[in-house]
Amino acid sequence: EIVLTQFPATLSLSPGERATLSCRATQSVSDNYIAWYQQKPGQSPRLLIYGASSRATGIPDRFSGSGSGTDFTLTVSRLEPEDFAMYYCQQYDRSQITFGQGTRLDIK
């Protein structure tokens, strides 16, 4: 099973700042089968990025994904008030899908 570790666990930033969230896998994720999700309290997860760098439908271009192999990054270029939420990475490379434990993005 591929274990995903997200860091930092909590990120405190102000609106307008740049956020960089990291996700590290214990094994190489082939074909960059990494996705990123945003979840707000009481809501279902929302797919942001798939294939490590492709934005899902309707996702603003301030969200971008990058990385390959075992190290992946979600960047939010300029934080908007609605971006403060939990973020999860997910690998779907193998038949056993796994999620990271999440990064909480808080307003500073």
Q: Which residues bind another protein (CB under 8 A)?
A: 1, 37, 39, 44-47, 50, 56-57, 86, 88, 90, 95-102
C-beta closer to another protein: residue 73 or 90: 90
Q: Whole-number minimum distance, CB 29 to another protein, in Å?
A: 15
Q: What is the DSSP letter of 27?
A: S
CA dihedral 76, 13, 83, 46 (to 10 degrees): 70
How far, in Å, CA of 50 to CA of 91, rounded? 10
Q: Whole-number minimum distance, CB 32 to another protein, in Å?
A: 17
Helix (H) or strand (E) holding 13: strand 10-13
CA 35 to the chain's CA centroid: 7
C-beta closer to another protein: residue 14 or 44: 44
Q: Whole-number minimum distance, CB 107 to another protein, in Å?
A: 20
C-beta closer to another protein: residue 29 or 78: 29
CB within 8 Å of 12: residues ≥ 6 apart: 106, 107, 108
Q: Whole-number minimum distance, CB 55 to another protein, in Å?
A: 10
C-beta closer to another protein: residue 15 or 21: 21
